[in-house]
Amino acid sequence: MAFWTYILRCRDGRYYTGHTDDLERRIGEHQTGGFCAFTATRRPVTLIWSESFGSREEALQAELIVKKWSRAKKEALAASDWARLSHFSRPPSERVSTSLDTNGVLGARGGEQLGAQGQIP
């Protein structure tokens, strides 16, 4: 049996992160509004990311990790943009700017230091 961790974008632009053993049913519940106070007043919702896991514990662990992430990290995950996800995984003081002169270096240099991650950090 598969278990899922997922991110929904709500009508107001906020994100909801959850886990379930039946993704289609759970999204339907979010759309009807009677099963989750957070999404009930923010419908409609749109699924922007999901990942399957082999156990409920793994899906719950992933939910608890992703739920704490910034908006930028969630958007990078949803876009499968591993370089951007890696960038936003670093503390702001350690991020190399991609704009001219904000860190005293040219923007092209920032891209060289970001590696593809492909996994949830």
CA angle 94, 82, 112 (to 5 degrees): 55
Residues 77, 62: one domain?
A: no
Residues 32, 82: one domain?
A: no
Report which of 92, 81, 63 is spatially closest to residue 4, judged by C-alpha positions.
63
pTM: 0.78
Q: What is the CA radius of gyration of the chain?
A: 17
Q: What is the pLDDT of residues 39-90, one digit of tens each?
A: 999 999 999 999 999 999 999 999 999 999 999 999 999 999 999 999 999 9
- Secondary structure (3-state) at 90: coil
Residues 3, 62: one domain?
A: yes
Residues 56, 37: one domain?
A: yes
Return phi, psi of residue 3, to 5°.
-125, 150
Check if the beta carbon of residue 49 is closer than 8 Å to that of residue 75: no
Note down the domain range covering 83. 70-121
The answer, yes or no, to whether residue 97 has pLDDT greater than 90, is: no
pLDDT value for 95: 87
Residues of the chain with pLDDT > 90, as a percent, come to: 73
Residues 64, 14: one domain?
A: yes
